[in-house]
Chain A
Amino acid sequence: MTMTESPPSEAAESTEPVAATPGAGLYDALTTSDHKAIGRIWLRLGLLLLLGVAVLGVLVALEGTSADGADVFGGVNAVWQMQGLYSVGLVLLVVPALTIGLATIVVPMQVGSSNIAFPRAAAAAAWGFVVGVAIMVVSVLAGGGWGALDGVSGGEADAIELTLLGMGMVAASILLACICLATTVVSLRTPGMGLMKTPLFAWSILVSASVWILTLPVLIANLIIIVVDLRGGPLLFGNPEGTTMIFDQVHWVLEQPAVFVLGIPVLGIIGSIVPVVAGARHIAHAGLMAAIGVAGLLAVGGWSQPAFSDQRDELLFVAFGLLAVVPVLASLALNSLTLAKAGPQVGLPPAQLLGALGAGLLLLLGTGAGALRVIGPFDLIGTGADAGVVHLVAYAAVVGLAAGMWFWASKIGGYALPNAAGLGVMLDFIGAAVLMGAAHVLIGFDFASGLNDAMAWVVFVGAILAVLGAVGVVSSVASAKRSGDEPGDDPWHGHTLEWATVTPVPAGNFVGALARVTSEAPLLDVAEQADSDEGGAS
């Protein structure tokens, strides 16, 4: 049996908290180097973006419901730009912001570190992301975007360059945050926590950060070439006045395999919640780590850009698409076996478990749809199935991240999120993902035009559910903050080190030194040791 040499909880209780978490003022937010405050900046922005993108999704879906064009945006260029903003917003803004926010708060605690590596760089990444998003959104609203369908004026051509600059800033900010997070997991783990004893969420963040580090620079390379081309090159990527080639060159980052990176943290969140629900350690921690690692390998996507001829007909692309299902299936199977072996324990509200398992199943659907998409005879590439895969995977990530927010709420903000609202939020997002994902895939199959029209309305209903879910998350956080209920230091009897500290978490995270860790579930070791001592004494 593995165990810690002395209980981390005792170490945590040995002294008083050093200082409270910095306040929420603008000056504090701008100058903070505390990972929790930086993470909250990402999370707030992520929730705001989720709300905005969900509303935009409703408008885009409404536009798609009419065969004649509902003309919601007032022109073919505007429709095309808003569709681009919606896709980019979902894949490059919402999910990364929420993922990085949750990870920036939880990962340092989970690995037993007092802070994130390079905290000032992490803060710069958060604010760089804010500026990048602002530039991108404003420039698209000014007529920019990723090219145009029927010609643009000179001012709009400038706005296109501004959009690309904003996109580059967003990518660079995500990369900077990834470097900070990956470095934290690699070099700031507490003594005794070897890489194979890393908690699954921290491991999944290391994997997804590494995948982003291998993928997003290729997007930046694309953007550099396109911007220089537009500024004075031979217009290799087409004249901005009447071309869609810019979007053609960068949309690979919104498609499989690159889009599967969004699902990797979901596997880590499931792996963190399930053993706590089961009240037992995973039956195969190393197997889950391997599954997450393989999922990461299959999500590296820079090679699949259309500039390298059309890779999408080639064996590697097909193999990546088909194999992506395997690690997700393996991860779900191992988590299910852990649950089945131990039997669910009472204590953890069902919202987290519903969210975690729902996210896992959505991810399975998403990778499954991706596998269908790469099978040549179905001829699904370039059809609605593209959007189907993106919706399933991106909303799997949103559901998983929402489950993570409910699970770690006490460590994020010192509050407890209401379970009933959580159930509603998870069901909303799961419903949204299933409706939008399945309807888009069916549109891709193009069975009949009447069915396609009906499916467009299904997408619209799904988009409305997504808005309800987003409103649910925001209102839950707001009401939890107002209620002032104290959730306690370890409300779920968690297994990993973030539950060894007090709530609200003080600056420096842990008061006193942590004991040497000897397994991936140090607090479970302590509980088992205590049970064993009690048994021996009686």
Chain B
Amino acid sequence: MTATARLPSPALRRPRTVLVGTLFASATAAMVYFGVLALYVSRRAEARLLGIEWFPEGVVELGPSGWIFWTLIMSSFTVQWAVQAIRNEDRPNAYVALGLTMLFGAAVFNQMWFILNDTGFALDASEAQFLFFVLNGTFITFLILAMAFLFLTALRAMFGQYSPRQNDGVPAAAMFWHTVAAMYWVTWIAVYVTK
């Protein structure tokens, strides 16, 4: 009857399977990590109640961990830049953004390694040092996984996959990256700021 009847029917909505699957996978990863963090925090609270010193004064410094915090904030912007670029079919920008995000990831890995060495902690020295190692080791594992996910996504993009209509892989990789970044932001406050 009306003009709308002559319009082409809307394109079928593509199921966003990869994005939804990554959402659940990110929740899983977050729960593993926060499971470790919760144990860390509860054991620390218990130690404080008993009057036991958790870390020796001045060993765990705020400076190096703060650099990781800010680097991860920058990486969250760059990974979102990649998402927007691929949606706009702007591949050069997408490659630059993905490359920068991975570079930030490598910088975070390097800084984490520095912190673990700088503290001079040993795995079997005390409960605090043991849990500090496990927590950071778990974070590094997820960081490596997030970087691998980004790398595979970048490779697929370079080989011509993803388009403005079909770009689930990049937002999915970005979502996992944000999750890993959020893990650290919470850790920074719970472990480094409130020692």
B39 close to A225 (CB less than 8 A): yes
Query: In whole angstroms, what is the CA distance A178 to B20 when docked?
Result: 12
Residues in A223-259 with C-beta less than 8 Å from chain B? 224-225, 228-229, 232-234, 236
Query: Among the listed B25, B42, B125, B138, which residue makes an inter-chain contact with A224, where contact means beta carbons less than 8 Å apart?
Result: B138
- The answer to the question of B89 belonging to the interface, with a C-beta cut-off of 8 Å to chain A, is no
A307 close to B24 (CB less than 8 A): no
- The answer to the question of B17 belonging to the interface, with a C-beta cut-off of 8 Å to chain A, is yes
Q: Which of B26-34, B72-80, B155-163 contacts A (4 or more CB under 8 A)?
A: B26-34
- The answer to the question of A503 belonging to the interface, with a C-beta cut-off of 8 Å to chain B, is no
B130 close to A220 (CB less than 8 A): no
Contact with A along B1-40 (1 / 0, CB 8 A): 0000000000010011101110011011111111110110
Main secondary structure on B side of the interface with A? helix
Contacts of A219 in B (CB 8 A): 35
- The answer to the question of A188 belonging to the interface, with a C-beta cut-off of 8 Å to chain B, is yes
User: Which of A218, A233, A308 has the largest count of B CB atoms less than 10 A from its CB?
Assistant: A233
A221 close to B28 (CB less than 8 A): no
Q: Whole-angstrom distance from the CB of B125 to the nearest CB of chain A?
A: 7
Query: In whole angstroms, what is the CA distance A530 to B60 when docked?
Result: 74
A308-B42 contact in complex given A183-B20, A225-B134, C-beta closer than 8 Å: yes
Contact with A along B108-135 (1 / 0, CB 8 A): 0000000000000001111100110110
A220-B127 contact in complex given A183-B17, A213-B27, C-beta closer than 8 Å: no
A236 close to B36 (CB less than 8 A): no
User: Which of B29, B30, B39 has the largest count of A CB atoms less than 10 A from its CB?
Assistant: B39
Query: Among the listed B12, B16, B42, B138, which residue makes an inter-chain contact with A187, where contact means beta carbons less than 8 Å apart?
Result: B16
- The answer to the question of A30 belonging to the interface, with a C-beta cut-off of 8 Å to chain B, is no
Query: In whole angstroms, what is the CA distance A217 to B35 when docked?
Result: 7
A225 close to B12 (CB less than 8 A): no
A302 close to B123 (CB less than 8 A): no
A221 close to B32 (CB less than 8 A): yes
- The answer to the question of B46 belonging to the interface, with a C-beta cut-off of 8 Å to chain A, is yes
* CB closest chain-B residue, reference A185: B20
Contacts of B30 in A (CB 8 A): 217
Interface size on A, residues (CB 8 A): 35
Residues in B50-80 with C-beta less than 8 Å from chain A? none
* CB closest chain-A residue, reference B124: A234
B127 close to A118 (CB less than 8 A): no
- The answer to the question of B91 belonging to the interface, with a C-beta cut-off of 8 Å to chain A, is no
Contacts of B19 in A (CB 8 A): 187
A234-B43 contact in complex given A187-B16, A214-B31, A221-B32, C-beta closer than 8 Å: no
Contact with B along A176-209 (1 / 0, CB 8 A): 0011101100111001000000000000000001
Q: Whole-angstrom distance from the CB of A224 to the nearest CB of chain B?
A: 7
A228 close to B134 (CB less than 8 A): yes
Query: In whole angstroms, what is the CA distance A228 to B39 when docked?
Result: 14
A214 close to B27 (CB less than 8 A): yes
Q: Whole-angstrom distance from the CB of A335 to the nearest CB of chain B?
A: 29
Q: Whole-angstrom distance from the CB of A110 to the nearest CB of chain B?
A: 16
A186 close to B20 (CB less than 8 A): yes
A307-B43 contact in complex given A191-B12, A234-B126, C-beta closer than 8 Å: yes
User: Which of A118, A179, A183, A229 has the largest count of B CB atoms less than 10 A from its CB?
Assistant: A183
Contacts of A209 in B (CB 8 A): 24
A308-B31 contact in complex given A187-B17, A233-B130, C-beta closer than 8 Å: no
Query: In whole angstroms, what is the CA distance A307 to B21 when docked?
Result: 31
B contact residues, range = 35 or more
User: Which of A215, A225, A232 has the largest count of B CB atoms less than 10 A from its CB?
Assistant: A225
B124 close to A232 (CB less than 8 A): yes
Query: In whole angstroms, what is the CA distance A225 to B43 when docked?
Result: 13
Q: Whole-angstrom distance from the CB of A340 to the nearest CB of chain B?
A: 38
A187 close to B20 (CB less than 8 A): yes
B130 close to A234 (CB less than 8 A): yes
Q: Whole-angstrom distance from the CB of A249 to the nearest CB of chain B?
A: 9
- The answer to the question of A309 belonging to the interface, with a C-beta cut-off of 8 Å to chain B, is yes
Query: In whole angstroms, what is the CA distance A178 to B46 when docked?
Result: 35
B31 close to A217 (CB less than 8 A): yes
User: Which of B19, B25, B28, B137 has the largest count of A CB atoms less than 10 A from its CB?
Assistant: B28
Query: In whole angstroms, what is the CA distance A218 to B25 when docked?
Result: 14
- The answer to the question of A443 belonging to the interface, with a C-beta cut-off of 8 Å to chain B, is no
Query: In whole angstroms, what is the CA distance A307 to B37 when docked?
Result: 12
Query: In whole angstroms, what is the CA distance A233 to B126 when docked?
Result: 8
Query: Among the listed B28, B29, B35, B124, which residue makes an inter-chain contact with A302, where contact means beta carbons less than 8 Å apart?
Result: B35
* CB closest chain-A residue, reference B133: A228
Q: Whole-angstrom distance from the CB of A178 to the nearest CB of chain B?
A: 7
Residues in A153-189 with C-beta less than 8 Å from chain B? 175, 178-180, 182-183, 186-188
Query: In whole angstroms, what is the CA distance A195 to B130 when docked?
Result: 45
Query: Among the listed B17, B38, B46, B130, which residue makes an inter-chain contact with A229, where contact means beta carbons less than 8 Å apart?
Result: B130
- The answer to the question of A222 belonging to the interface, with a C-beta cut-off of 8 Å to chain B, is yes
Query: In whole angstroms, what is the CA distance A497 to B125 when docked?
Result: 60
- The answer to the question of A117 belonging to the interface, with a C-beta cut-off of 8 Å to chain B, is yes
Query: In whole angstroms, what is the CA distance A309 to B41 when docked?
Result: 11
Q: Whole-angstrom distance from the CB of B169 to the nearest CB of chain A?
A: 13
A221 close to B46 (CB less than 8 A): no
B38 close to A308 (CB less than 8 A): yes
Contacts of A225 in B (CB 8 A): 36, 39, 131, 134
Q: Whole-angstrom distance from the CB of A53 to the nearest CB of chain B?
A: 26
Contacts of A215 in B (CB 8 A): 31
Q: Whole-angstrom distance from the CB of A126 to the nearest CB of chain B?
A: 17
Q: Show the binding face of A for B, using Cβ within 8 Å.
A: 117-118, 175, 178-180, 182-183, 186-188, 191, 209-210, 213-215, 217-222, 224-225, 228-229, 232-234, 236, 302, 307-309
Q: A179-B24, A222-B39, A228-B123 are in contact. List 11 more A-B contacts (CB 8 A).
A: A183-B21, A187-B16, A187-B17, A213-B31, A214-B31, A217-B35, A218-B31, A218-B38, A222-B35, A233-B124, A302-B31
Q: Show the binding face of B for A, using Cβ within 8 Å.
A: 12, 15-17, 19-21, 24-25, 27-36, 38-39, 42-43, 46, 123-127, 130-131, 133-134, 137-138
Chosen A-B contacts, 11 in total, with CB atoms closer than 8 Å, are: A180-B21, A182-B20, A183-B20, A187-B15, A188-B15, A214-B27, A215-B31, A221-B35, A221-B138, A236-B127, A302-B35
